[in-house]
Amino acid sequence: MTLTASVPVTASASASAGIAGVQFKLDGVNLDSEKTTAPYSITWNTTAASNGAHTLTAIARDAVGNQTTSAGITVTVNNTSTVVSPTVSITVPSSGASVTGSVTITATASASSAISGVQFKVDGSNLASELTTAPYSTTWNTLSFSNGAHTITAVARDAAGNQTTSSGITVTVNNTSTTTSTVTPPTVSITAPASGSTLTGSVTVIASASGSAGIAGVQFKLDGTNFASEVTVAPYSIVWNTAETSAGNHTITAVARDTKGTQTTAAAVTVTAVVDTVAPTISITTPGAGAVVSGSTDVRATASDNVGVVGVQFTVDGTMIGTEITTPPYGVIWDTAQARNGMHTLAATARDAAGNRKSASLTVLVRNRNAAPTAPGSVTYLLADHEAQSWTMANTSAPTTVGYVRVDSDWGDNTVGGVATFSYHSNEVLVSEASVPLSPLVNSGRVYVDVNGPANTGIAFANPNDEDAAISFYFTDASGRDFGNGSFTIAAKRQVSAFLNEAPFNLRNNLEGSFTFTSSRGVAVVALRGFTNERNEFLITTLPVSGLATTPASTATVLPHFAIGSGWKTKLVLVNPTNGVITGRAEFLDPGSVGSSAALLSVAVNNVPSSSFSYSIPPHGISRLTLSSIDGTLMVGSIKISATNNTALASGLEILSFTAAGITVSEATVPIGKAASAFRVYVESSGRPGTAGSVQTGIALANPALVPVVAELELTKANGTPSGWRGSVTIPAGGQIARFLKELIPGSPDNLDGLLRLTTASPVFATGLRLTMNERGDYLMTATPPASETGDFTNEELVFPEIVFGGGFTTDIVIFNRQPGQSPSGTVRFVAKDGSPLPLP
């Protein structure tokens, strides 16, 4: 773009805190003064710049001092010498005329580059303002001049800045006494601020003026110098920002001008300007820091200032809540339903008249439980520290419905733990319970298989992805022989669950061995063991999915509890997670005592008395040990499993079974897990122990260290509120303890659901054990998986691979926060086998 003469330069600017000013720059140097009101525009006389390329920018400044510089634009200035100066002449009045009163003066002007303005002059002094548009005409009030000869000229200015002065004409002013006798000077006075006032910040200055000839304008003056532009319409006022002047005394006057040109100056008022650099003080009084808020929440603040607070603005996460509050009390109502569940920052900023600002802030937790579901079959969750949330899929008399549950996190790592508990009723009697852990997605795994007589094994795959998952699998028998290779596809969002002797797995013969799978996409997997007992009742328990190891490990692991005798049996199953032979040793240890370490315990291993067992497991294979009491006496303890010959550590599980009067009434699976120093376990207690329908939770802890370790226990209600219920227990060196909740924390209530937190100085192994007495007095046991407070977090969704309700089944689903100091939130989605939403419980 090529420019000549004077050109307008315009910018647009906006900001959430409001624009305080825009400063134009030419080649990085300020061009004119900062513009503080819209529209943001100046006139640039390009003749003051050299011909050639120049860069224009604009810097916007908001009300809190933040600045942004616009992208520069490059223009070319070309004021050449070919521009012809304008021509101008006065046409009215004629030279030699005699004039009185108010006289019209008119000029004509033209130029090759257009006329920018015409300035009339009397005796060389400007008469009124420059006229920028034709016709070029003004009114001269001759009453303000002496009688006699006066010279009138006109100066024309073109767009290139060239100027030409017309030939002067001479006129004679002849105002006799009869023409002036009716003229009364205007009256004017300053009405605000009052004389003697002390001022700070921005102040409104007001004058009143009147005159018989009408008021043409009022010019305010500060210390004798024009202040802002003349105000030509009532009310006559301007805003004075005292921060832009020096501190101390100042004099304000106003000059009123009537339509005849007569002027009167108001009596001066003296004021004192105080330059205030002290920011206000402010604090948020409601809600408190860390408060849990929901719905419409009252937000309040107190603010004070050495001069005075003019406004308080509330924000949430930097976004304004309503408009600035200009009078106390300072408060707003915040609709938290418009914010996402989770932590948010509330702030309040106080502003004084001098523009000084001070902010206070705090964080709160938004917790709107009745937020609308994001989609059918889904519900949002928000978990404070130590909090749990639960749902029950019931209606046992309805047809059987199978599906899965997805647990998504709103952001970052998914720090939620959880357990889904199946309950199976037959003829209105609870006959079995099993727990399914909340699981991450996996691409491969290996599962213990027992398909033989009354035992059967099933598996459930859930594919929560938007794409199909291709599954490949094979079986391995006890000798390590692989067979039965197959494959199938799980469509996006769908679930497949079946016993292994059903399609798509199609196992044709009895098998005790393993099932290995790989998947093209991450899927959630759980295996289920079904056992038909001596009275033809179907008992269920879950089987863990072991990962496939690729590197050897020389460390040991511990199963924290086994029980034999007095109706109890323990089946230990070791699974080879590798493609090579693994060897190792299983040792059976008594609980030990506070004063002595755990000792080896002699048990019947596959009917052979022993206190240990050395194993060698072929690739992909398993080793199963059945443990029983030699003399029928009840014995409990832990099982230490160690790898030998630098091979990988076996994975696997134990199955605890209880028999009463020759009937197997309960089976529970405890997987081989990892040690940790901080666990959380979901616990329940209801009813009087030993009565039908009662539920108790027990905890088993095993200490692999050579010295005793103390476990500190803290019990909280499911809503996360502290209870004050605490306890501690010492675990002997190399030993274990297995106790019910009431034994660990005697003051805990009889009826409770909540979280038990366990912390130790060194890592221990743990499992939860839920004991329910059914309607006919049978004890049913199921393992409740503990969740470590550290590690194993994922930024992907977690899944309960199978839930089932109807046909005698119910499923209780519990999720809980397993990371201290965090408040995870997200969405729980209930999904049918075909991928459609399940009705919300």
Give the tokens for residue 203: 């102040």
Residue 418 CB neighbours (<10 A): 25
- The percentage of residues in the chain with a pLDDT greater than 70, rounded to a whole number, is 97
Who has greater pLDDT, 612 or 552?
Answer: 612
Could you tell me what percentage of the chain is helix, strand and coil, using 3-state DSSP and rounding each to the nearest 5? 0, 60, 40
Of 180, 211, 230, at which residue does a domain stop?
180
pLDDT tens string 492-516: 999 999 999 999 999 999 999 999 9
Amino acid at 586: A
687 conformational bin, left if phi > 0, alpha if psi -120 to 50, beta if neither: left
Residue 247 covered by a domain: yes
pLDDT reported for residue 7? 87
548 conformational bin, left if phi > 0, alpha if psi -120 to 50, beta if neither: beta
Q: Is the model's pLDDT at 374 over the cut of 60?
A: no
Who has greater pLDDT, 221 or 340?
Answer: 221
Q: Is the model's pLDDT at 379 over the cut of 80?
A: yes
pLDDT reported for residue 83? 55
Which CATH number covers residue 191? Answer: 2.60.40.10
pLDDT tens string 296-306: 999 999 999 98
The residue-averaged pLDDT of 77-104 equals 83
pLDDT reported for residue 550? 60
Cβ 202 vs Cβ 353: under 8 Å: yes
Residues 584 and 688: their CA atoms lie apart, in Å, by 44
Residues 733 and 710: their CA atoms lie apart, in Å, by 10
pLDDT tens string 273-295: 887 888 999 999 999 998 888 88
Confidence of residue 375 (pLDDT cuts 50, 70, 90): low
Q: Do 655 and 643 share a structural domain? A: yes
Q: Do 208 and 128 share a structural domain? A: no
pLDDT reported for residue 182? 53
Diameter of the chain measured on Cα atoms: 144
Q: Which residues contact 127 (CB under 8 A, 6 or more apart)?
A: 105, 120, 121, 138, 140, 152
Residue 26 covered by a domain: yes
Residue 791 covered by a domain: no
Q: Do 661 and 635 share a structural domain? A: yes
Residue 818 covered by a domain: no
Residue 244: strand, helix, or coil: helix
Residue 752 covered by a domain: no
pLDDT reported for residue 17? 81
Q: Domain count of the chain?
A: 6
Q: Is the model's pLDDT at 689 over the cut of 90?
A: no
147 conformational bin, left if phi > 0, alpha if psi -120 to 50, beta if neither: beta
Q: Is the model's pLDDT at 180 over the cut of 50?
A: no
593-598: long-range pairs with CB below 8 Å, 24+: 593/732, 593/735, 594/708, 594/730, 594/732, 596/732, 597/706, 597/732, 597/733, 597/734, 597/735, 598/637, 598/638, 598/732, 598/733, 598/734, 598/735, 598/736
Closest by CA position to 800, among listed 525, 443, 547, 488: 525
Q: Is the model's pLDDT at 177 over the cut of 60?
A: no
The residue-averaged pLDDT of 546-572 equals 87
Q: Do 571 and 661 share a structural domain? A: yes
Q: Do 313 and 225 share a structural domain? A: no
Average pLDDT of the residues of the chain = 91
pLDDT reported for residue 584? 95
Confidence of residue 179 (pLDDT cuts 50, 70, 90): very low
Residue 804 covered by a domain: no
Closest by CA position to 612, among listed 596, 595, 625: 625
Q: Do 176 and 193 share a structural domain? A: no
pLDDT reported for residue 659? 96
Cβ 644 vs Cβ 517: under 8 Å: no
Which CATH number covers residue 520? Answer: 2.60.290.11
- The percentage of residues in the chain with a pLDDT greater than 90, rounded to a whole number, is 70
Q: Do 540 and 498 share a structural domain? A: yes
Closest by CA position to 639, among listed 685, 570, 724, 706: 570
Which CATH number covers residue 619? Answer: 2.60.290
Beta-bridge mates of residue 282:
303
pLDDT tens string 695-731: 999 999 999 999 999 999 999 988 887 778 999 999 9
Q: Given CA atoms 326, 331, 332, 337 in this order, what sign does their dihedral have?
A: positive
The residue-averaged pLDDT of 354-377 equals 77
Q: Is the model's pLDDT at 478 over the cut of 90?
A: no
Residues 723 and 246: their CA atoms lie apart, in Å, by 63
Q: Do 515 and 563 share a structural domain? A: no
Q: Is the model's pLDDT at 191 over the cut of 90?
A: yes
Residues 527 and 451: their CA atoms lie apart, in Å, by 13
pLDDT reported for residue 373? 46
Of 180, 213, 239, at which residue does a domain stop?
180
pLDDT reported for residue 181? 45
Confidence of residue 558 (pLDDT cuts 50, 70, 90): very high
Amino acid at 535: R
Who has greater pLDDT, 140 or 277?
Answer: 140
From residue 145, how far is each of 91, 179, 186, 214, 359 by CA, in Å?
Answer: 21, 13, 17, 19, 59
Which residue spans within 703-797 are E strands per DSSP?
Answer: 709-717, 722-731, 736-740, 752-773, 779-784, 787-788
Question: Dihedral (C-alpha) 750, 755, 759, 764: value to the nearest 10 degrees?
Answer: 90
Q: Is the model's pLDDT at 741 over the cut of 50?
A: yes
The structure's pTM equals 0.62
268 alpha-carbon distance from chain centroid:
58
pLDDT tens string 4-59: 878 899 999 998 888 999 999 999 999 999 999 998 999 988 888 889 999 999 99
Range of the domain at 239: 187-273
pLDDT tens string 611-656: 999 999 999 999 999 999 999 999 999 999 999 988 899 999 999 9
Residue 19 covered by a domain: yes
Residue 465 covered by a domain: yes
Q: Given CA atoms 142, 146, 152, 156 in this order, what sign does their dihedral have?
A: negative
Q: Do 585 and 526 share a structural domain? A: no
Closest by CA position to 584, among listed 532, 649, 674: 649
Of 129, 162, 180, at which residue does a domain stop?
180
Q: Do 120 and 196 share a structural domain? A: no
The residue-averaged pLDDT of 666-685 equals 94
CA atoms within 13 A on the CB side of 249: 6
Q: Do 144 and 192 share a structural domain? A: no
Q: Is the model's pLDDT at 178 over the cut of 70?
A: no
Q: Is the model's pLDDT at 444 over the cut of 70?
A: yes
Q: Do 464 and 483 share a structural domain? A: yes
